[in-house]
Each structure stands twice: as C-alpha cells, then as structure tokens.
Amino acid sequence: MIKSIHTLSLILLLNIYISCTPPSSLYRMEGSTALIKKINKLIVDSGVDLNMSIQVVSLSDDKTLYNYNSQKLLMPASTNKLYTCAASLYYLGKDYRFTTQVLARKNNLILRGGADPDLKIEQLDSLSIEVSKKYKNIDTLFVDDSFLDSLNYGEGWMWDEGPWWYAAPISALSINDNCVNFYIEPGPLGQNAVVNYFPKTSYINVLNESLTVNDTLDFKKIRIDRNWVNSKNDFNIYGEIMDTARIDTFYRNINNPTIFVGTIFKELLKKNGSTVKHLSTISKNSDDYFDLIEHQSDSLLVSAKNLMNESDNLTAELFIKSIGALDTLPGTWKTGLDSVKSFLAREVLIDTSNIRLADGSGVSRYNLTSSAQLIELLKWMYKSDYKDDFIYTLPGGGWPKSTLEKRLTSEAGLVRAKTGGLSGARNLAGYITSQKYGDVAFSILMNGYIGSSSKYTRLQNQIVKAVIYD
C-alpha cells in the first residue's frame, strides 16, 4: 500500500511539473490522457534517471498522442540511420547499383571501387576468373578508390575505437565489411585453441597465444586484438577457451581496406592462373585504359535492408559518401551530409538549424537530433512514394539477424523500428500498428545513463507495448 501511494505521488508530481511548465518549453506534455498516464507510470516505475525525448504521433491525423521533451537535442546513435536510409532512397533510388570495375591497358590492370558495401569474396573471385582468361602475366595491378575521398574514419569517431566491427574504415573498395572473421574452437587440452579465419590472405599476420583449459580457475576469456595503434594488420589471439566450448566467432577490422581488397584480388588472380608482379595505388590518369569487366551489386534497396537490420555502419557511410559523389568527385562526408540536410529542410520541412549530422551511421557523438525531428521524417516517409520501400528496410520485433531479434517478439507484426545504441545512449524510433490509434510514428531517445542498458531497453519496449495495446 505504501509503495502504491509512493508511486502515485511520483506520477502526480511528474504531471504537475510538466503541466506547470510554459507551453513553449521543451517539457510540454500533450496527447491522449489515458496514454499519458500509462507512459508516465512506466517511466516513474522504471526508476530511470536520464535525459529523454519522446514523441508518439498518429499517422492518420497527425495528432500527438504523447509528447515529452520532444524538442530536446540528444545523440541519436544508430537511429541516425533513419536519415541516411531515407536520403539514400531519395537521392540514389532503390534501384541504384554499385559498380566494381576492372580496367586494362597492355599488361596493367586497374581494380576500381564504386563504394559497394556488400562486395563479397566470391564476386571478386568471379572477376578474377574472367581476367585470368585474358591476362596471364600482369605487370602492375592498381587499386583505385578515388570514387570517394581518402578519409577512413568519420568526424567525432573516437581515436581508440580500435579493431571492432562497428568501426571498420571506409573506402570505395571494401570487402567482407573490411573485417576478418575469426573462428575459435578448443584444441587439445593444454595447447593452443584452433584458429581459422576468413578471408585467408597474406595481408594479415596472426599470432595465436591462446590456451585450451578444462577449468575456470582464473579463467581469462579469449581476446583478439589488432595492432591498431601502429596501423598494422597483426592480430594477437590470447586468453583461454574451455575444452568443451563450441566454436565462437569474432570480427575484427583491418587497416587500409583498399590494399586489403587489392591483395585479395591479386591472390585470387594467382589462384586462377595469373601472376601479378606489383600492387600499387592508382598513380596516373586512367583515360587510356579500357573497361574489361565489371560487377554490379544488388539494388540499393537490398543493401538498405541490411543497413537497417544489422545496423551496418560501413554501409551507412558508403551511402552518405555516394550521395556526395552525385555532386562532386570524390564523394565526401561533407557533400553527402550537406545533401541529407538539404533533403530534410527542403522536402521534409524540418528546421535543420540545430540538427547536427557528423556521419551517416550515428557512431559519432557529435550527432544531435530530437524526437520531434525524427518524427517529422517518419511522417513524411510514410506519406511519400518511398513509404513501402522505407518500411521494408526496417526490422520488426523478433526478426532474426536484426537488432530487434530479442525484442518485442510477440509484437513482430506490429512494430517496425530502428534501434540506436552507444555507451550512455539507448534509442528506438519507427512505426507501430496500434489497436486504438491505427498506424503511429514514435521516437524514444534516452541519453546520459551509466552502466547496463537493460532497464532502458525494457522501458522502451514497455512504452511501445503501451501504445499498441492502449
């Protein structure tokens, strides 16, 4: 009883605080009375203490159903990809295809990247097979990444992001997410773990100092580090693995993706019967080279679905720079992001004077946006010709191999949304099909916590369910 009275008092205080705030305030509360009470109670009961920006809007009549602090600028993290995906559909189109070319002149070749985010080893191998039919002795293989600028990392990316998948360097020539996949399993007791990796290439060096054990006393988990401080592709594997463990997979990024791709292509050419004397970056005009063969990617829509479901940062940045390349070559973050802001201001009619876009993925902590701005984008896309394609890219609750795989599993057909997470930031924005209000757009931004994100994720799920079942 005492706990109940305490909870009700907190809710009352929250309502009083908000209702006494001037209408022009960031903290304006409006919407459906019943829904306001439900969501306020969820917030109070959760015990969270952080900066929040929340808005829920009916898409049938633009009526605000819930609004708390919706104008406050917070870090969007990967919900920033909503802007990137929408702008890419607008500027590049769902049928846009990324082209990887091989050009030839005498015994020299150029491998030219077109910013394909999903280029696979098998596809590069197919190119090498065709090249090997015509050229057996290649003097110099040039790698050309000039379609995009040479900046591998975005503005505001932390200097110590290290070798993790989410911080892979950006290049017009990219493959396998610019990462190496390591597969670790137990070896004989007292010996090194068994290490396999993909792709197999001389571009990397692997030092295996791991140990197979049969007890957990002073157990040290397997770690794989790259010598990223010195920009080298030396991977050190250390720590322990239980002799009963299953295969575990680790993804680590590489330095200089352009040469990474070039080295792999050179090795594939050798496998298929062609020798390459030299590997070099492009250093001269290629006008006198002729087009030998090319690979075109699947449609941009396919890549966009991967972008939103896996929250693939590399894809996001390649999209942004490719948008930039429509205006100037090479494509840059600046030209791409300027175009995104222009789209948001000119088409979506968002006031972009205070929005900050530092990259396309949301990795940068320099990005700032509000729930209200995200809602305006979601509303516009819902009413535009891009509606079906945009929603197609968004993961649903419980979808396998997506950032919502373990969330809102019982609401799989009722929510399509993009997650966003950095240390201290947990966000969710997208669409809900509700029982009472029909289709709605929602945005929940939470910044400024310390420790585990679990209770913030749980609160977001509860808010979504409250809207669905109100």
Mean pLDDT in residue range 20-32: 47
Residue 212 binned pLDDT confidence (cut-offs 50, 70, 90): very high
Residue 31 pLDDT greater than 60, yes or no: yes
Which of 141, 250, 96, 257 shows the shortest CA–CA distance to 185? 250
| Averaged pLDDT, 316-320 | 98
Rounded Cα distance between 290 and 56, Å, is: 55
**Which pLDDT score is estimated for 163?**
80
| Residues 199-211, mean pLDDT to the nearest whole number | 96
pLDDT digits (tens, 9 = 90+) for 171-200: 999 999 999 999 999 999 999 999 999 999
User: Would you place residue 253 in the very low, low, confident or very high pLDDT band (cuts 50, 70, 90)?
Assistant: very high
**pLDDT one-digit tens code per residue, 120-156:** 999 999 999 999 999 999 999 999 999 999 988 888 7
Taken in order of first residue, the domains within the chain and their CATH numbers are: 2-93+302-469 (3.40.710.10), 99-153+256-298 (3.50.80.20), 182-252 (no CATH)
Residue 28 has pLDDT above 60, yes or no: no
List b or e across 66-104, with b for residues whose CB sees 16 or more CB atoms inside 10 angstroms: bbbbbbbbbbbbbbbbbbbbbbbbbbbebebbbebbbbb
- Largest Cα–Cα separation, the chain: 87
**pLDDT reported for residue 18:** 44
* Band of residue 312 on the pLDDT scale cut at 50, 70, 90: very high
Instruction: Please give the model's pTM, rounded to 2 decimal places.
Output: 0.91
